[in-house]
Amino acid sequence: MNSIFVLGAGFSAAAGLPLGKGLSQHILKLARQYERGGILLKDVERFVAYKNDTSSEKLAKDDVDFEEFVAFLDIEHSLGFEGSEHWSNSGNQSQLLIRNCIAVVLHAHQLMMTSEQKSLYDSFARRLDPGRLHLILRSV
């Protein structure tokens, strides 16, 4: 029998990792610092325009639900929209930038974890049975 563990945001929060809106803010900050051409920010503007064109409520750029924005990018990529910007089967430029920014943010926060916070993860990992298949999904 195989086990699947689905670890929610509470598991990451206990380790001091940023969640939801905090993670989104870190991603956008990194994108502004490192991104050439502002592709992610342009995609945010396109998303806001799409939302404003298809909804009676007006959305401001600062009020974007980042998870909804990422879902918008995923659907666009899956359907092959945006022509030449789909230069990779792994995602468009914004999707890849977001993934890399998430990795940078989480790595930086992991380096700042206290020994008590690290022990939470170590304790969990020690309880896993290496003889069985385990799939661990973390949402942040």
Quick one: pLDDT band at residue 54, thresholds 50, 70, 90?
very high
Confidence (pTM): 0.73
Which residues are registered as beta bridge partners of 4?
A: 135
pLDDT tens string 89-101: 777 888 888 888 8
CA distance 59 to 19: 22
Annotated domain spans of the chain: 17-112
pLDDT of residue 140: 40
Q: What is the pLDDT of residues 25-40, one digit of tens each?
A: 888 888 888 776 688 8
| CA–CA distance, 48 with 2 (Å, rounded to integer) | 43
